[in-house]
Amino acid sequence: MKKAIIYYFSGTGNTWWVSKELKKQLVLNDWEVNCFSIECIQDEDILNQITDVNHIVFGFPVYGSTAPIPMLNFIHSFPKANNNQTISIFGTQALASGDTAYFIGKHLIKKGYKLKQTIHFKMMNNLHLPRFRFYAPKNDDRVISLHRKNLPIIKQLALNITHNKKNIRGKYSLGILIGIFQRSHINKLITTASKGFSVDSSRCVNCDKCVNICPTKNIIKSKNTYVFDSNCALCLRCYSQCPTYAILIGKKSANIKKFPRYKGPQDGFNVNLLIKAKK
Ligand SMILES: Cc1cc2nc3c(=O)[nH]c(=O)nc-3n(C[C@H](O)[C@H](O)[C@H](O)COP(=O)(O)O)c2cc1C
């Protein structure tokens, strides 16, 4: 039986959902599959995990035509290919992905991996802030409808992996141009937006959920409130998952009708799935 492994980072659940469905489809095609949130593994475990694996999949949300900082760090420290492994890269995005998956794939080609698939999935948007309005996230049937549209694409991806078929998407002139343009702005967006975090103490119930779920340990309890350090990846997990909408990014985001929080794929999603084995 061939073995595959899926490593993913997900801020608010979309990439978790695609990873879960891809695992299902690969299993139906007789693969033995392990699927890990990168927050649940230690760097030193990776070498063992991939030693006898035939295919490795990397998944993450598209942030301005690149990957989130935790995924970039993961890929940076990922071991070199040791066994002729093939790889696939997928991104989840709200509107425009440019050449993201291919751009990330190139880093792994340099490590000796054979890039076979790059693909992007349109999912619900999670980024809609007073200073960076995209389109407001919906927490209704539109999420399910996007899932329905993605299922046949995921099925095809699993078939392509199974038949070792090459399918590189996003590597065309316009995609590359969108990519170059977006990548030149994304760091500024993240730095500026992450300076706008605050806690509305009239809403906060001091539950510590934000501290526990932050992937970069950027939130620190201080007296009866929380303060934000400078390692924010802008994954929006704390902002979306705060049970009382107490985390603000810009004062105007206190208005939850204008700035609704994305609650993630409804299909079995629980934020603890992303951090379960975290130390
Ligand atoms: C900081 C940030 C940047 C984003 N940039 C883009 C983008 O360039 N293009 C796009 O279509 N969606 C963009 N999005 C939307 C997310 O990629 C999309 O909602 C994704 O599916 C979220 O995945 P997750 O739930 O696994 O975190 C961005 C979201 C964030 C938080």
CB atoms near residue 91 (< 10 Å): 31
Answer yes or no: is the C-beta of 198 below 6 A from any ligand 1 atom.
Answer: no
Percentage of the residues of the chain whose pLDDT score is greater than 90? 92
Q: What digits encode the pLDDT tens for the residues 30-67?
A: 999 999 999 999 888 999 999 999 999 999 999 999 99
What is the pLDDT averaged over residues 195-208? 97
83: confidence class by pLDDT, cuts 50, 70, 90: confident
Residue 265: is its pLDDT beyond 50?
yes
Q: What digits encode the pLDDT tens for the residues 125-147?
A: 999 999 999 899 999 999 999 99
The residue nearest atom 7 of ligand 1, judged by CA position, is: 64
Answer yes or no: is the C-beta of 22 below 6 A from any ligand 1 atom.
Answer: no
Helices (H), the chain: 14-28, 43-50, 69-76, 100-110, 141-162, 173-194, 209-213, 237-241
Answer yes or no: is the C-beta of 182 below 6 A from any ligand 1 atom.
Answer: yes
Atom of ligand 1 nearest to the CA of 126: 19
Atom of ligand 1 nearest to the CA of 190: 1
Position 142: which residue type?
Answer: R
26: confidence class by pLDDT, cuts 50, 70, 90: very high
Q: How far is 198 from 139, CA to CA, in rounded Å? A: 24
What is the 91 CA–ligand 1 centroid distance (Å)? 9
277: confidence class by pLDDT, cuts 50, 70, 90: low
What CATH number was assigned to the domain covering residues 3-184? Answer: 3.40.50.360
- Collapsed DSSP state (helix, strand, coil) of residue 66: strand
Pick among 3.20.10.10, 3.90.1150.10, 3.30.70.20, 1.10.540.10: CATH of 196-250: 3.30.70.20
175: confidence class by pLDDT, cuts 50, 70, 90: very high
Answer yes or no: is the C-beta of 88 below 6 A from any ligand 1 atom.
Answer: no
What is the 6 CA–ligand 1 centroid distance (Å)? 20
Q: Which of 126, 135, 213, 262 to mutate to test the pocket of ligand 1 (most atoms within 8 A of CB)?
A: 126
Q: Which of 16, 17, 125 to mutate to test the pocket of ligand 1 (most atoms within 8 A of CB)?
A: 125
- The partner residues of 180 in beta bridges, in order of sequence, read none
Check residue 13 and give left, alpha or beta (phi > 0: left; psi -120 to 50: alpha). left
Residue 94: is its pLDDT beyond 50?
yes
State the average pLDDT for the chain.
96
228: confidence class by pLDDT, cuts 50, 70, 90: very high
Residue 190: is its pLDDT beyond 90?
yes
Answer yes or no: is the C-beta of 143 below 6 A from any ligand 1 atom.
Answer: no
84: confidence class by pLDDT, cuts 50, 70, 90: confident
What is the pLDDT averaged over residues 237-243? 98
Fold match between 3-184 and 196-250? no
The residue nearest atom 19 of ligand 1, judged by CA position, is: 125
The residue nearest atom 28 of ligand 1, judged by CA position, is: 63
Q: Map out the domains of the chain as residue ranges.
A: 3-184, 196-250
pLDDT at 279: 42
Q: How far is 209 from 212, CA to CA, in rounded Å? A: 5
Position 33: which residue type?
Answer: V
Atom of ligand 1 nearest to the CA of 60: 26
Answer yes or no: is the C-beta of 12 below 6 A from any ligand 1 atom.
Answer: yes
Residues 6+ apart with CB under 8 A from 189: 64, 132, 234
